[in-house]
A and B are shown apart, each in its own frame.
Chain A
């Protein structure tokens, strides 16, 4: 299926290590506009490392390879510049920022992105209107917007908050790292609705997940199996089901 659409995210021969340990051992991946891909794999396969490396988290050394988004070399950019180019990471463990309200955080972030893109900042009233609508879509109570970022949020609230940030910041490429982990079925549906609402012809999504469960609600165009720092198999959504039934060892 890939190749049908204009390539957005292109990863070529990506190697990365932490200290002396090589974790990514040559990743090749191409995600086209409008596409949703899923990466599945056992613990320790390097899935979260891939997400972190794409977004420029410090602590990883890239030893080889290229990453581009719409032709722009991401590896040359600082993390906030990658965000400016439209890359969004949904964190597996969203971070708490005491004293900073969700609302203020999002407005600061949105205006930073707009500034990076040379766009005009959004005024307070329009921002508030947009934010409230986005929160309502995700069935988030308005007072959550006034609370400090992720502080004293439940696991489900944190993940929902990640979806709210994605909706408001409106990236073009979303990398969602185990966004489904720790969610009950109702929360999972809300998060899946959030992802599906985000999908569109100019957007791309990379889901990183351990379980097939999320893929019942967000149907991927392609599924990749990652084991020991490499993508060992790719296929359509049926691959995920096969994995669920037979386990990684057999499928790989």
Chain B
């Protein structure tokens, strides 16, 4: 109890020390939003495993010590352009280092002319009215989001006007290089007006090479207008001691489509949460995810899809591959409101356990309050099919090769749905790399 209070006090102290220097400090609503959020955080603390939505999230690291924001430039060890991960796709790249926009590392040249990009820090200081409608009152529904609201230092504001459909994808790259127990609180705002369309890529990587215990806390608000289409692709390969909590609140209007593919393959703890409100007829959500978990890692995908309007549809498919002593979870909730007739909602989660001590948890939940609906979920947990392994062995593949073929096949099913072809190749390469590393680890 005491330890818990000490930790909360540390955040509180750090917040009050930093508040005057945080972006938007000259604007009343922003200041009071931060203070309200901090007071809320102080009262609630971090979520615990007793909170249903956090049941399968390992919160121990956050409960043991404070992760204080990387606040000044001197904590940032220099990252050179040459250190950036290779680009395999065309398009603009926004780079956030330790939670702050880095213009020199970013590559904004290819930004589509129709698209407005501004860092959140600049927006809060210079154009608060741009972000005000999306932030006021949104202190956050849990302690982690409240802390984000109180401490958000930067992020991306991306606005697409009606009908704009940039051809090239836009990437946001998050890099961390600050020291132990540092944190970045990032807030993004992505707005697609009617008929707009965007491929948005978010990449979280660790470039420090020292595998430091860095906490990235990213909260995004995404608004998909009528008939608009947001394809959101995420890769998360942070270091083995790092923590990542990513939460997206998404609203989809009539005929709009939000799709998300997330590859989660890093971190001591990684938690993705997507909360979608389907607010218009024929609004659609397609969510796919692949978790690759190694020993000691705890990865979770959490989704809430609320069908608030008739004839909306959602489809979710999550897969996890777990090495020995790894842990992965899927918590998915579909809510169909009383009058949301003709809703269609499907949810699937499959886990493949490759070693002793692996734990797969799933809670696929359907809460249905309308009758003319088609809803289903399925969940499986199991090992590789012994008969299939034997079949491949009998055809001359050694056990390791046979295993690789089957594991790849398991993952491949979910890659089929990725519309962006180069992206699919990147994901394939990640999986192959992960499998090779996994073999190394297991043969050690």
- Direct A–B touching in the complex (beta carbon < 8 Å)? no
